[in-house]
Structure 1
């Protein structure tokens, strides 16, 4: 997609200390070299970095490259371009044994350090995250504020996700979603939607030939109506969406909604005591974040509710 629209793209990889091999794409303009600082862009849940290059010249990555920024597109473990591991594969339940805390502690710094090392501009990177990409940077930056400061100069949160209590869509699906996750755990199914060729064919066929209106309305329900996303964009969108996801980040989001706290994964009182040294999961202290942050959200976003 990148080269088709007339931009340069280069694939880089980094391996986390628990063996996950992550892919980060560098996107630059063919007409000029980057003149500004690096921008690292992190996608949301069940998607990947294609999210930032899929609507031609309206795409965020291309707009940033045209402005002279050095653009880097991250991919979280389990997603399409980061589904490799040193000793595991996606068909093994063990591969999917990670939650939001794990990705925040390992994937985010691993990718940011890659960008810092390749550009030589540690401390100058701007982090742009969307949805889950904002959750992860808030978790990382609140736990490791000094390290964060050494890597980035600031962050931009698109459709930020921290507290989920009271969000109508979450409240609606929470009982059924919790039951489904419990059942998947019982039958040892830890990863979802990672058979991507089959999944994308099904979604593309359904959305293009069977019920394009239904697919469009589903996107509007979740993300809010947008003039930036047209019906013509739908086939390309379903060619890469959805992507692989572990059940544990989904479960953790439900826990956050239920507890009304921005907390670490709740393993149950006994295991919490062993892991955290206390029966309840610790909460993330957002006031620890010591880099400038800008929050951008849509008032019609079905997964966002301003907290007062």
Structure 2
């Protein structure tokens, strides 16, 4: 029963907002003009890769890299080691590495959907940084394992705990080994959650120079949209039919069936679902959204979605709850899942936190709880930016994100170089 209740909460998080984008490209708030003309609309398949489809054609040096986690998952990464300006490190110094981590149900390509002048990875490369883009397990470029296949349910037996324990350490270790330098980190949404959880356990901090957290997710208890409440109350039975699915594929028939049922509910307007669940994004270009729709969303594990739902319901940041005290005891040695204590994050770790006033996923009140957990952080080591008109997707696809967010991120990273 606990699992069923957790799944009923999925509608309160990223489950629906990306599914909606698959079915409904309308209602994008902001400019519908494409100032650079029509986009080619390239779909990045595993055979083509992100570098070839979205980077090198603009004049950037890009390399596809595979990294294997300790539990055998083969993760794909992209390294943009040079921008179009071929900026050197200067003064004989090596370029500073930056690792960029996406959120749930998407992959690294979401950072590259606008023109080069508007994309964070390319902006960083042009400013002289050594840029690395991560793709988590289960996404189209990271559906490989040393001994398992995605068709096997056990391939999907993981939640974001494993991203904390295995995925982030694997990519951090690789970047650190290749560059010999501490790493600047950028995360969006789930990319901030797994980073905060990692830092709280003392992971990665020895290899970390600083972290920029965009639309941060830690506490999720204030997402109370009417649509989410309707879904949680009215579709428990239908949602629990997903329990038998190890892979949570937004483009698959079972999940699509759930969404269609949700859209058919009286009073639910699917044409406004994106705004209802992400907040009203101010600054998305329609051509960018079209390109997004051709490439996303991506699969994750159903267990991962359940774990996120538990975070919504419980109001705390904790490891996966197996629903029974004896199961938790078997996994953790205690009846309840251990909590990630964010106050354990090193107080001298340089942090840049940027959040939006219209973000329905990274709600202002939940970000306030996050900031409260960091209240003892060194004052000169934390920078907080509030953008009242921004919602969740503006941070990665907003046409003005360069001027509003990315330039501040670059300045923050440059300041850490002393």
Give the alignment's TM-score, normalised by structure 2. Answer: 0.64
1:210 aligned residue: none
How many Å separate the matches in 1 of 2:128 and 2:149? 38
Structure 1 stretches (4+) deviating beyond 6 angstroms?
none
CA spacing shift, 1:222–1:64, aligned 2, 3 Å: farther
Which residue of the other structure, out of 273, 291, 299, is the alignment partner of 2:357? Answer: 299
1:87 and 2:142 are equivalent in the alignment: no
1:20 and 2:107 are equivalent in the alignment: no
Q: Deviations over 1:264-286 (max 9, x none)?
A: 10012110011111111111010
1:66 and 2:126 are equivalent in the alignment: yes
Q: Is the 8 A contact 2:172 2:204 kept in 1?
A: no
2:162 aligned residue: 102
Q: Is the 8 A contact 1:181 1:251 kept in 2?
A: no
Q: Is the 8 A contact 2:87 2:126 kept in 1?
A: no
1:203 aligned residue: none
How many Å separate the matches in 2 of 1:15 and 1:173? 38
2:101 aligned residue: 42
Indicate the SS of the match to 1:159: strand
How many Å separate the matches in 1 of 2:326 and 2:251? 35
Give the alignment's TM-score, normalised by structure 1. Answer: 0.86
Shift of the alpha carbon at 1:166?
A: 2.2
How many Å separate the matches in 1 of 2:270 and 2:186? 30
How many Å separate the matches in 1 of 2:133 and 2:235? 30
CA spacing shift, 1:167–1:44, aligned 2, 3 Å: same
Q: Deviations over 1:109-152 (max 9, x none)?
A: 1001111111111xx21111000001111111111x1x422111
Q: Larger RCO: Structure 1 or Structure 2 (Cα < 8 Å, ≥ 6 residues apart)?
A: 2
Q: Is the 8 A contact 1:181 1:247 kept in 2?
A: no
Q: Deviations over 1:42-71 (max 9, x none)?
A: 000000000111101211111111111111
Shift of the alpha carbon at 1:221?
A: 3.6
1:166 and 2:216 are equivalent in the alignment: no
Shift of the alpha carbon at 1:175?
A: 4.6
How many Å separate the matches in 1 of 2:88 and 2:233? 48
Gaps of 5+ in 2: 1-53, 90-94, 256-268, 370-418
Indicate the SS of the match to 1:258: helix
How many Å separate the matches in 2 of 1:120 and 1:54? 30
1:243 aligned residue: 298
1:141 aligned residue: 199
Which residue of the other structure, out of 335, 339, 343, is the alignment partner of 1:279? Answer: 335
1:30 aligned residue: 84
Shift of the alpha carbon at 1:235?
A: 1.9
Shift of the alpha carbon at 1:223?
A: 3.3
Q: Is the 8 A contact 1:178 1:254 kept in 2?
A: no
Indicate the SS of the match to 1:304: coil
The CA RMSD measured in Å over matched residues stands at: 2.3
CA spacing shift, 1:282–1:62, aligned 2, 3 Å: same
* Structure 2 counterparts to residues 252-291 of structure 1, below 5 A: 252-268=307-323, 269-290=325-346, 291=349
How many Å separate the matches in 2 of 1:163 and 1:195? 28
How many Å separate the matches in 2 of 1:34 and 1:220? 42
How many Å separate the matches in 1 of 2:250 and 2:222? 30
Indicate the SS of the match to 1:183: helix
1:191 aligned residue: 247
* Structure 2 counterparts to residues 192-231 of structure 1, below 5 A: 192-193=248-249, 217-231=272-286
Gaps of 5+ in 1: 200-212
Q: Which moved more, 1:164-173 or 1:67-76?
A: 164-173
Larger radius of gyration: 2
How many Å separate the matches in 2 of 1:180 and 1:301? 28
CA spacing shift, 1:279–1:34, aligned 2, 3 Å: farther
Q: How many residues align structurally? A: 286
Shift of the alpha carbon at 1:12?
A: 1.1
Indicate the SS of the match to 1:17: coil
